[in-house]
C-alpha cells in the first residue's frame, strides 16, 4: 500500500494504524491470522474488506466486546508508532521543516541521516508525485531496513536511500537539490557538500541540532559561505485542555457595614448582618462556561532548527569579477 495515496478499503498485506483509547500501534494485515492487545483478540479477517476508520470489535469478549479503530496510515500516525532505530524528529518540528524549506510537489530534497525514517515519510508525502528525496545514512543496517520499509509503504519511486559518510564522502547529487536537511553530530563538516548539492540558482538549508554549540559553529560557517536569512528557532509544543466550568453566581449588593444600634427582640446578630449586607450565594443560579488550562506535563526541548538561504550564483560574484567581464566585452567590441 502507499502512504502517499489514500484508498478506501482494507486489504490483505496493508499496514493499518490501530487506535485505542490514547494509544496507537501498527499491524500488517495477514489473512487468517490475528493480533492481541490488552483489549482482547482481534481477527484480521474482520478487518479485510472494511473501510479504513472502521470500528473493529474483539472476538473474545462476549456481549461486552472491546473495540479498536483501524486507521489509514499517514506520516503523522507513523511517527507515533514506528520502530525506533534512532532518536526521531516529531510532528511539531517536521511541520516547521517542511514549511520553512518551502517543500512542494516536484521539489528535490537531500536528507542526512535517514535514521528511523520519521521525517522521510513526511517529506515524501509533501513532494510526491513528481519530486524526489535523496536520503543518506552512514549505518549499513539502518539503510537496508529503511529501504525495505519505504518499499512496503509504496515510497520507492519517491525516495532513494544510500549509505555514505556525509562529512567525508559527499552525496553525488551536485546541483540537483532545491532543499537540504542535515541531522548530524557535526553538521558544519557536511556544509561544503550540502552547498554543492543545492542548485546554482539557490535553495534552502536546514540543520537540526540538540546543542547550542553545534548551532554556533554551523551559523559561523554559513555566514562565511555568504548564506542569507540565517535563523535558529526552537519549536515547543504546548497542549491545552478545554473543560466545562461552573461558577456560582454572587449577587453584588451593598456590602456597607450596618449602623450600630439595638437589635429588635428575637433577632439574632448573625442573621441581621447577613440580611443587611447582602444575600447569601445562590448555588442554583450558576454561570457555566468552557475554560482552558495547560496540560501539567508537556514535552520540552527537542532540538534547534537552523535555516538559511543559498543565494543565486550570480549574486555571489564579486564586483571585480563583474568589471572584468565588462572590460572583456568592451575590448571585443573595439576589435570588431
* pLDDT tens-digit map of 116-128: 999 999 999 999 9
- Binding positions for S-adenosyl-L-methionine are 116-119, 137, 183
Contact between 271 and 247 under an 8 Å Cβ cutoff? The reply is no
Do 39 and 164 fall within a single domain? no
pLDDT above 70 for 318: no
Does residue 231 sit within a domain?
yes
Which residues, in sequence order, are CB contacts of 67 under 8 Å at separation 6+?
20, 39, 55, 56, 57, 58
Could you give the number of structural domains in the chain? Answer: 2
User: Which domain CATH number covers 215?
Assistant: 3.40.50.150
Does residue 127 sit within a domain?
yes
Do 215 and 178 fall within a single domain? yes
Number of Cα atoms under 13 Å in the Cβ half of residue 202: 15
Do 156 and 207 fall within a single domain? yes
- Domain range for 192 is 82-236+306-315
Encode pLDDT of 128-175 as tens digits: 999 999 999 999 999 999 999 999 999 999 999 999 999 998 899 999
Do 116 and 140 fall within a single domain? yes
Do 153 and 172 fall within a single domain? yes
Does residue 321 sit within a domain?
no
What is the model's pTM?
0.79
Q: What is the pLDDT, as a whole number, of residue 275? A: 46
- Binding positions are 116-119, 137, 183
Q: What is the pLDDT, as a whole number, of residue 276? A: 47
H/E stretch holding 243 reads strand 240-249
Do 117 and 62 fall within a single domain? no
Do 56 and 164 fall within a single domain? no
122 three-state secondary structure: helix
Do 35 and 106 fall within a single domain? no
User: Which domain CATH number covers 35?
Assistant: 3.10.330.20
Does residue 161 sit within a domain?
yes
Percent of the chain predicted with pLDDT > 70 = 82
Does residue 258 sit within a domain?
no
Three-state helix/strand/coil letters over 85-108: CCCCCCHHHHHHHHHHCCCCCCCE
Instruction: Write down the residue that cell numbers 532505530 correspond to.
Output: 85
Do 54 and 183 fall within a single domain? no
Do 158 and 63 fall within a single domain? no
pLDDT above 80 for 330: no
Do 86 and 132 fall within a single domain? yes
Amino acid at each position: 500500500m502507499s502512504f502517499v495515496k489514500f484508498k478506501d478499503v482494507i486489504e490483505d498485506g496493508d499496514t493499518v494504524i490501530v487506535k485505542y483509547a490514547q494509544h496507537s500501534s501498527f499491524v500488517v494485515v495477514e489473512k487468517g491470522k490475528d493480533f492481541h492487545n490488552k483489549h482482547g483478540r482481534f481477527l484480521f479477517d474482520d478487518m479485510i474488506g472494511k473501510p479504513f476508520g472502521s470500528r473493529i470489535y474483539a472476538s473474545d469478549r462476549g456481549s461486552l466486546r472491546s473495540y479498536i479503530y483501524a486507521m489509514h496510515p499517514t506520516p503523522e500516525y507513523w511517527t507515533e508508532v514506528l520502530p525506533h532505530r534512532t532518536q526521531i524528529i516529531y510532528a511539531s518540528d517536521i511541520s516547521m521543516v517542511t514549511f520553512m524549506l518551502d517543500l512542494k510537489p516536484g521539489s528535490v530534497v537531500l536528507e542526512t541521516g535517514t535514521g528511523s525514517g520519521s521525517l522521510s515519510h513526511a517529506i515524501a508525502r509533501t513532494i510526491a508525485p513528481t519530486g524526489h528525496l535523496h536520503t543518506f545514512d552512514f549505518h549499513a543496517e539502518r539503510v537496508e531496513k529503511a529501504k525495505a520499509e519505504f518499499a512496503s509503504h509504496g515510497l520507492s519511486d519517491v525516495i532513494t536511500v544510500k549509505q555514505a559518510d556525509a562529512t567525508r564522502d559527499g552525496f553525488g547529487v551536485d546541483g540537483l537539490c532545491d532543499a537540504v536537511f542535515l541531522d548530524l553530530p557535526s553538521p558544519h563538516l557536511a556544509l561544503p557538500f550540502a552547498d554543492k548539492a543545492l542548485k546554482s540558482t539557490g535553495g534552502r538549508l536546514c540543520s537540526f541540532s540538540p546543542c547550542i554549540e553545534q548551532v554556533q559553529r554551523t551559523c559561523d560557517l554559513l555566514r562565511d559561505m555568504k548564506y542569507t536569512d540565517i535563523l535558529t528557532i526552537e519549536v515547543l509544543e504546548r497542549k491545552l485542555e478545554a473543560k466545562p466550568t461552573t461558577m456560582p453566581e454572587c449577587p453584588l449588593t451593598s456590602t456597607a457595614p450596618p449602623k450600630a444600634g439595638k437589635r429588635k427582640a428575637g433577632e439574632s446578630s448573625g442573621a441581621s448582618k447577613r440580611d443587611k449586607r447582602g444575600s447569601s450565594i445562590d448555588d442554583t443560579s450558576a454561570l457555566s462556561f468552557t475554560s482552558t488550562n495547560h496540560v501539567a506535563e508537556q514535552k520540552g526541548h527537542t532540538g534547534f532548527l537552523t535555516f538559511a538561504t543559498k543565494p543565486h550564483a550570480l549574486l555571489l560574484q564579486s564586483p571585480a569579477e563583474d568589471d572584468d567581464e565588462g572590460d572583456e566585452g568592451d575590448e571585443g567590441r573595439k576589435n570588431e
